[in-house]
Amino acid sequence: MIRVVGTDPGTSSLDLILLEDGLVREQVRFEPAELRANPGVPIEAIRSWAPIDLVAGPSGYGLPLVRGHRLDEDAIDQMSLVRPDERGEDHGVVGFRASLRAFAASGLPVVFLPGGWHLPTIPAHRKVNAVDLGTADKVAVAALALEHDAREHGGYARSSFALVEVGSAFTAVLVVREGRLVDASAGTRGPIGLKSGGAWDGELACWRSPLSKRDLFRGGLDDLGPEGPAAFRESLRKAVAGLRAVTTFERIYLSGAGLDRPGIEALVHESLDGLGRTERLPSLPDAWVKHAAQGSALLADALAGGRHGALAASLQIEAARGCLWDALARP
């Protein structure tokens, strides 16, 4: 009997889900106010679910499968990518660095998952001048989508699709080809989000410098007024069409908390009209927490020797390598 926990440290909440032999047993959501008051409250919940074989911890931009007891400040910096002068400010995932430390110090069997940048299945030339090729939570959603698609279409090697994840702040598009994550347009190098302005024009960034992390959460649909819907729609369509021109796919799965806002799902369907067959990504049976928590639990199950081992093998999760500082150091 393998018992694992998946997490999703989103900008709007932190979700936990417990799987026992691949089946949902427990799940819980913590709102930002709870996490501000006590960053250790998720640890208390997980301990109440003991015994636990593995916890997929909140991973931000990701690490190549670093265990909790080996987490150091450099690894925390890589996962959070917040400059020292901005730490402690209220933007992004509330209390993320404190949450990482709480998980690492908990004594629980924690592992931090990779982001898309760490996976060998994304070719090196697509990593040039890039950091966000899907954060670890987006990779987890892709894992959930792959598990569903493979079941519907005859196995991982037959699974080719795109995933559009509309979060409460950012939008990401990830492409899976024959069971492997091969490309992405995400975050501040992707399409416009509900809060984020998407890909930055270098001249604009230079003119407005010095920039802060807070600036990355501005300029999205919520800030654009009457032009917002058209800008969002065309930005998403260009991103998906551009990825499709390089790697063909016929199916597009939709995910993300942003789809629950009035009018957003319809806007996304308008954006993607003619680019593929779109459908809302289903959850695991009996699961109601966010898709990223579900997907990270599937990966935790795989890494713990559970029934989803072939899923992690298809995505080559255990072959994750590298350090984001390598990407940031490129000229």
pLDDT, residue 331, reads 42
pLDDT, residue 12, reads 74
**Residue 160 token pair:** 């080719």
Q: Do the beta carbons of residue 17 and residue 287 sit within 8 Å?
A: yes
The distance in angstroms from the start CA to the end CA of the chain is 49
pLDDT tens string 237-249: 999 999 999 999 9
pLDDT, residue 94, reads 59
Question: Mean pLDDT of all residues in the chain?
Answer: 93
Full residue range of the structural domain in which residue 155 is found? 3-328
CB count within 10 Å of CB 118 equals 25
Is the pLDDT at 262 greater than 80, yes or no?
Answer: yes
Give mean pLDDT, residues 263-290: 97
Number of structural domains found in the chain: 1
Give one DSSP letter per residue of 233-278, joined into a string: HHHHHHHHHHHHHHS--SEEEEESGGGGSTTHHHHHHHHHTTTSEE
Residues 6 or more apart from 214 whose CB is under 8 A from it?
A: 86, 89, 91
Lowest mean pLDDT of 85-89, 90-94, 107-111, name the range: 90-94
**228 pLDDT tier (thresholds 50, 70, 90):** very high
Closest CA to 147 of 135, 137, 161, 136: 161
pLDDT, residue 13, reads 84
Is the pLDDT at 330 greater than 50, yes or no?
Answer: no
**91 pLDDT tier (thresholds 50, 70, 90):** low
pLDDT, residue 11, reads 74
**142 pLDDT tier (thresholds 50, 70, 90):** very high
> Angle at the Cα of 8 (from 4 to 11), degrees rounded to 5?
165
pLDDT, residue 10, reads 77
pLDDT, residue 38, reads 84
Percent of the chain having pLDDT more than 90? Answer: 83
CA–CA separation, 133 and 122 (whole Å): 9
CA dihedral 4, 314, 236, 64 (to 10 degrees): 60
Is the pLDDT at 120 greater than 70, yes or no?
Answer: yes
- Main-chain dihedrals φ then ψ at residue 153, nearest 5 degrees: -125, 20
**223 pLDDT tier (thresholds 50, 70, 90):** very high
pLDDT tens string 7-40: 998 777 899 999 999 999 999 999 888 888 887 8
Give mean pLDDT, residues 113-130: 96
What sections of the chain are H helices per DSSP?
32-37, 41-48, 73-80, 96-104, 136-153, 202-208, 228-246, 264-272, 291-303, 309-315, 324-328
Is the pLDDT at 96 greater than 90, yes or no?
Answer: no
CA–CA separation, 99 and 104 (whole Å): 9
Is the pLDDT at 85 greater than 90, yes or no?
Answer: no
Is the pLDDT at 89 greater than 60, yes or no?
Answer: no
Q: Is the peptide bond before 109 cis (omega within 30 degrees of 0)?
A: no
